[in-house]
Chains A and B, each alone.
Chain A
Amino acid sequence: MFTLQSVELRYGGTVALDGLDLDIKSGEQVCLIGPSGAGKSSLLGLLNGRTAATSGHVSVEGTDLAKLSGKELQKLRSRIAWVPQDLGLVSSLRVHQNVACGRVAEKGFWGLLRSLLGMRASEKAVIHELLKRVGIEEKIFQRADHLSGGQQQRVAIARALYQQPSAILADEPVSAVDPERARDLVALLSTLAKEEGVTLVMSLHDLTLARQFFDRVIGLRDGRVVFDGRADDAGVRDLYRLGGEAMPDPSVVS
């Protein structure tokens, strides 16, 4: 699905990613982990072409992103959903309207406007079914800002799924909720992605969650990959060394 070859990303004089080589297969579930500033968000930004690599190649499904025209890039992006840390919901819109925004590429301006002003019954029914899967179907017609943090995260997940993507990129989507809710949400996203056969690339701070739900964990530090593999015992030791004080995790220490 995603291939990175000798990718370097610089912001001015600062190196965000340094000589990255990665291959993420279709349907794979990958967790990016590392301290703040390690390059997790930068890497996610490269995967859907939100940022361009300073050097090296980023390919999605065999297509080099640098060679795509603006329109081709938009078309490609319509197959990759993004769940940012702040979720990017429109607080004054109702849940079903927020979810409908997931299909912005397909609908275009007038189609989306139509959905926002007066959504067709058939579309409402589809969204209702989708919300059942994330467990907040009874909130379908409530305003996004009337929901709890955890419920808002489910709306963002539903919006991503409504896009019918082949990959979901989630940038620390559970950083603002308590550990129990975070576990439920990661479990939900992981299960849904598996059911849909969607590639999932998620960045996390929590090592326990990474071990629990992901077969493949990529550890980043200072823009470099310092670990890439299964979160087995040997790997955990590496991860612990990698995390240092930025990722305290009592379960690992014990």
Chain B
Amino acid sequence: MRRRWFLLGGIALFVLGLWVLKAHPRELVPSEGGRQLASDFFGAALRPALDYEDRAIRSVGEPFATKVAKAAWLTVKYAVVAMSLALILGIFGGVLGSRAWWTRGSLFLTSLRIGVRLLATALRSVHELIWAILFLAAVGSSPFAAMLAMALPYGGTLAKVFSELLDEADQGAAQVMQAGGGRGFAAFLGTAVGALPDLLTYAMYRLECAVRSSAVLGFVGVPTLGYEIKVSFEDGHYHEIWTFVFVLLLIVLFFEGWGGRIRRMLVQGVVPKVNLGKKSTLAELWQARGKSWFLRLTLLSLVTLIAVGWLLEDSWGATLSYEQRMANLSRFWSELVPYPVRESGDWGDTWGWFMGLMREEGLVALWRTFHLGTAAALLAGAVALLGLVLSARTLATGSPREVRVDGGRLRSLLGKGVRVSAVLGRSAPEYLLAFLLLQIFGPTMWALIFALAIHNSGILSRLGSEVIDNNRSGAATVMIASGGNRSATLLGALLPTGFNRMVLFLFYRWETCIREATILGMLGVGSLGFLISEARVSFFYDELLLWIIMGSLLVFIGDIVSDLVRLRLKK
């Protein structure tokens, strides 16, 4: 019964969202111009550029391949360097925000934990693109500002997730060590080392996200792949765009594959190739121990990448002089004060200014942003759910259950198609997708909804497939073995047992959709991001700050609601 209400509520919320966002179905058909553009644009995907489309530049500028390689390297460099800083923030925040190292809680430790968790949530509630805008406005363009813009929210996210992973990790070893006289931090090593595979896997996943974010920062002027995509679009060089897009996808896929392999190695461990007997010496046993060259090379490559990333930037500071930066900062700082207060000097005017702005456009923008995130998450969930019939291995081949399912070639091909689309969808940054879709559909909310839904359905499809494939319920095996078709097995046996887990994932992605929704408006469609963008180009830094705080509050509330729902579902 609860499930039915949940589904009905989801559909109602989706329809209400479309109404609020004024996303009419007729807008789904692109205009004549849009169709032509779409045809030219997607046609170009078949022939990505190998050289500049503008012949005039070929003889003048640097080779096209060099340009692509530079943008790709900068994308990876900013991601890796930012992650190195975020990792430090994440480790400190993760440990301080966890209760796994306490032997006995005190008021101070509890306050510290709550304080660190709130700070982590606050840091991540502001999108990296917005941090970048803030830093660029405050101190001008600088590689360090771009890197910091990613490191802060990523540090917050890592801290939050690390502390959750540490709290949920097996505490058995730590308890034995405490019972054996180990003090707080020493005994905590038992928990931390046990949680290490999960912590490292998550850090690798964030590195993959950081590559995407690094590309997106190109849209506010950081010279990564996103910047090249934007410039190529403005020049109408569609073939070049696809070259940059494909390179970005390849990098993201490489990091995803790398992270996946690391996870498998960490979870499974390395079994020694030779089984030595009891007569072996310690040295022989040490030689024969299971060791992974892959993990060693991974560690070495990551350390080298971080070191090279930091050292190969000769102007982390900025192109501007120190004085210019300070002058920028001072101006930015003074203009953060609400406009009427600057005029009158009376802080009492803030309330009127705030209420005026909220009434005029703020509340509507917040409402639309909420519905954009929600409608996209619901659409992503629905698409992923329908795709499960084809994408989950259990239903495609039945192999995990040792029950053969005769799928046929077409079914198998379709399944592969769905899985590949999901991989491509989750590899493409939402902001980039939205940018491209807006050119085809025109200025409609559908473009933003689809962009968020495509990316998130890719992620939900993978998570959902894992739930289905890890489901060992006998009911499904019996149903498949008795000739039940895929939809019947999914609906009758697999969904009922995996439903809570899937809803849990949906809320996790909803929270992310709300966060992304706050920035998508920057592409020119009415929502909170649009107000942020407007305030930025008009140099109204007081309004810019207000909209950023409002967006952050929305994400903050989304985070808390999602956490509460997930906590309840876990029980």
Contact = CB atoms under 8 A, between A and B. Distances in A.
Given A84-B172, A88-B172, A146-B269, A109 B190 contact: no
B195 to A, nearest CB: 9
Chain B, interface residues (CB within 8 Å), range: 35 or more
Interface in A97-154: 98, 101-102, 104-105, 107-109, 112-113, 116, 124-125, 128, 137-138, 140-143, 145-146
Given A116-B189, A146-B271, A81 B290 contact: no
B272 interface: yes
A142 B189 contact: no
B183 A84 contact: no
A109 B186 contact: yes
A92 B269 contact: yes
B495 to A, nearest CB: 32
A76 B175 CA distance: 16
Given A125-B282, A138-B285, A82 B180 contact: yes
Interface stretch (B34-42, B202-210, B273-281): B273-281
Contact of B183 (A76, A86, A108, A128): A108
Q: Is the interface of B mostly helix, strand, loop or mixed?
A: helix
Given A138-B285, A141-B286, A143-B269, A91 B179 contact: no
A94 interface: yes
A107 B186 contact: yes
B505 interface: no
Contact of A142 (B173, B174, B289): B289
Contacts of A78: 180-181
B49 interface: no
A160 B416 CA distance: 52
A16 B266 CA distance: 41
Interface string A79-97: 1111110111111111000
Interface in B169-223: 170, 172-183, 185-187, 189-190, 193-194, 196-197
A45 B183 CA distance: 18
A89 B179 CA distance: 14
A70 B290 CA distance: 41
B289 A109 contact: no
A138 B193 contact: no
A74 to B, nearest CB: 5
A137 B177 CA distance: 23
B196 A92 contact: yes
Interface in A149-207: 159, 163, 165
Contacts of A41: none
A163 B280 contact: no
A94 B272 CA distance: 12
A50 interface: yes
Given A91-B194, A109-B186, A142 B177 contact: no
B189 A112 contact: yes
A89 B180 contact: no
B181 A77 contact: yes
Nearest to A106: B181
Nearest to B197: A92
Contact of B179 (A50, A107, A124): A50
Nearest to A104: B182
A36 to B, nearest CB: 20
Contacts of B177: 101, 104
Nearest to A135: B278
A87 B170 CA distance: 12
A29 interface: no
B189 A89 contact: no
A48 B271 CA distance: 37
Contacts of A89: 172-173
B189 A113 contact: yes
Contact of A109 (B173, B181, B189, B280): B189
B172 A93 contact: no
A142 B180 contact: no
Contact of B278 (A98, A112, A125, A137): A137
A237 interface: no
Nearest to B191: A90
B176 A74 contact: no
Interface in A52-86: 70, 74-84, 86
B144 to A, nearest CB: 32
Contacts of A137: 278
Given A82-B176, A86-B172, A140 B186 contact: no
Given A89-B173, A94-B289, A137-B278, A105 B190 contact: no
B267 to A, nearest CB: 8
Nearest to B287: A141
Contact of A90 (B173, B179, B272): B173
Given A141-B285, A146-B271, A76 B181 contact: yes
Nearest to A89: B173
Contacts of B193: 90, 92-93, 116
Contacts of A146: 269, 271
A119 to B, nearest CB: 10
Contacts of B190: 88, 90, 101, 104
Interface in A30-60: 48, 50
Interface in B19-72: none
B180 A105 contact: yes
A112 B170 CA distance: 19
B173 A105 contact: no
A76 B290 CA distance: 38
Given A91-B194, A159-B176, 4 more contacts: A92-B266, A116-B189, A145-B269, A163-B180
10 contacts: A74-B181, A74-B182, A78-B180, A88-B190, A92-B194, A104-B189, A109-B189, A112-B186, A141-B289, A163-B180
Interface of B: 104, 170, 172-183, 185-187, 189-190, 193-194, 196-197, 266, 269, 271-272, 275-278, 280, 282, 285-286, 288-290
Closest 9 CB pairs of A and B: A78-B181, A105-B181, A104-B182, A141-B289, A88-B176, A88-B172, A77-B181, A82-B179, A143-B269
